[in-house]
Amino acid sequence: MPQNEDPAVSPAVAGDPPLSPATVAVVAGRPRKALDSELNTPVSLSATFVGGGSLGTAALGYGRFANPTWEALESAVGELEGGRALAFASGMAAVAAALHLVPADGTVLVPRGAYNGTHSLTGLLAAQGRISVLPTDITDVEGVRTALAGVRGPVVLWLESPTNPLLEVADLAALAAAGHERGAVVVVDNTFATPLLQRPLELGADVVVHSVTKFLSGHSDVVLGAVVAREETLLAALQAHRTLHGAIPGPLETFLALRGLRTLPLRLERSQASAAELARRLGAHPAVRRVRHPSLPDDPGHALAAAQMTGFGALVSIEVVGGAAGADAVVDAVRLWVPATSLGGVESLVERRRRHAGEPVVVPEDLLRLSVGVEDVEDLWRDLSRALDAALAHAGTPAG
C-alpha cells in the first residue's frame, strides 16, 4: 500500500520498509499533527454537520452517513487489513450487510460450522425464500469447487478461518481462487485471526468482516462490527446498506474500539502464547477427549495455519468426558475463568457452545470454547485443570 508521505499525517518514510502492523495499530487513525492538535481523535457527538446554501454540501452531512470518530477507527482497521473499512453497529450488522451482497435468487455457500449468528441469519434468509444456502466443508477445497460448479445464479462464498468454535482452518488463497473462477464474491469473517495474524484481502478475498466486539476492541466493553473491502462498487454497496438500513456504530463505541486496538498486538501476543501452552497441557488431562488448537502438531489445520497465519490465535476448544453434563460441570467449577459468551477480551472466558439453540449441530455437545485472556498462564491452568476434575467426577471416573 502506498504510504502517505505527509509527516503531519503518517510517520512512514518513502523508501523504508512498510511499518509493521504492531506499529500501524499504534499510529493509524490519529488526527493531523499540528501545534496543540489532539493526539487522539475525540468523541464527536453531533447528529448533523453544517452545510447547504453557499457553504456547499458537507462531506460528512448527517450522523447516519458519517462521523469523524468512526472514521478514525475505520482508517486504522482499513490500514491493518489493507483495504477501506466501514464500521457497523455490531458484528452481526456487518455480517448482514455483507450477506446483502447476495442478490435475491442468489446462493451463499457457508461453512457447516459457521459462527452461530451467521448460521442462524443465513438460515432465516433461506426460510424466507430470499436466498439459497449451501453448507460446505471449507477444509475441502475440491469439494467447495464442485459445490460452486453445481450452483446456478449469483454466488457468495462465505468463509471463516479459523472457524468459531471448531477451529477448522480453510485454505483462503485456494478457496478465493476457486470462488473467483466461478464469479463468486468471496467474504472472510476474520474475527478469530484479526489482521495481525492473517490478511484475507491479500489472499484474494473481496470482503473481510469483523466482530470488532472481540479482539480488536479487546476489553468486553463494546459491541461493534466492521467490513473491509478494496473494490469501489462493493464498498459503495456496503456503505449504502449501512446508511439505508441504519445499523450505524455509536461514536463512543468507535472511540473505545480504537483505544482497545492500540494494544491488540500486545494482548494477542500474550493470549496466543498462553493458548498454545494451555492447549499442550490440556492434551494430557484425563478429562479431555480432544483439544482443538492449530498450534498442536497433530491438529488437522496445523500445517495450513503455519503457512497462512503469523500465529495460531487465542481460542482453544476442548471436548471433555461426561458429555454435556460433564462440560457444564467444568463451567460450574471454574473460579478465575468467567462462564460467558463472547471472546477476544483481556479476561479468559469459557462456554459450552451447544447451550445455544442456534449452534450448528456439527459442534459437539461436550465442546467447551476457551477464549484465553492476558492473565498469568499458571493461574489459568491451575483453575482450569482443577475444574476439569469435576468432569471426571461426572463421568464416574475417579479424579487422579
The residues carrying an active-site annotation are 64, 115, 189, 214
CB of 45 to ligand PLP, least distance (A): 22
- Of 351 and 389, nearer to ligand PLP (C-beta) is 351
Cell 459503495 belongs to residue: 236
Cell 452461530 belongs to residue: 116
Q: How far is CA 145 from CA 44, 49, 65, 148, 185, in A?
A: 47, 48, 38, 5, 14
Residues in 266-295 that interact with ligand PLP by CB under 6 A: none
What residue spans of 206-335 are helical by DSSP H? 232-245, 251-261, 264-282, 302-308, 323-333
Asked whether the beta carbons of 390 and 333 are under 8 A apart, the reply is yes
Residues in 116-145 that interact with ligand PLP by CB under 6 A: 117
What does the DSSP assignment read for 7-57?
A: TTT----TTSPPPPHHHHHHHTTPPPP-TT--SSPPP---SB----GGG--
Stretch that binds ligand PLP, among 54-62, 185-193, 345-353, 387-395 (CB under 6 A): 185-193
CB of 164 to ligand PLP, least distance (A): 4
Nearest C-alpha neighbor of 399 from the set 280, 277, 285: 285
Number of H helices, E strands in the chain: 13, 12
Stretch that binds ligand PLP, among 74-82, 86-94, 177-185, 295-303 (CB under 6 A): 86-94
**Any contact of residue 191 with ligand PLP (CB under 6 A)?**
yes
**Any contact of residue 213 with ligand PLP (CB under 6 A)?**
yes
CB of 217 to ligand PLP, least distance (A): 9
* Given 10, 90, 194, 198, the residue binding ligand PLP (CB under 6 A): 90
CB of 190 to ligand PLP, least distance (A): 8
**Measured between alpha carbons, how far is 122 from 198 in angstroms, rounded to an integer?**
25
* Given 87, 92, 248, 384, the residue binding ligand PLP (CB under 6 A): 92
Stretch that binds ligand PLP, among 64-72, 177-185, 206-214, 253-261 (CB under 6 A): 206-214
DSSP state of 250: P
* Given 84, 199, 214, 354, the residue binding ligand PLP (CB under 6 A): 214
**Any contact of residue 91 with ligand PLP (CB under 6 A)?**
yes
Q: Is the peptide bond before 165 cis (omega within 30 degrees of 0)?
A: yes
* Given 139, 198, 211, 272, the residue binding ligand PLP (CB under 6 A): 211
**Measured between alpha carbons, how far is 1 from 320 in angstroms, rounded to an integer?**
46
Which residues of this protein are in contact with ligand PLP, per CB under 6 A? 90-92, 95, 115, 117, 160, 164, 189, 191-192, 211, 213-214, 223, 225
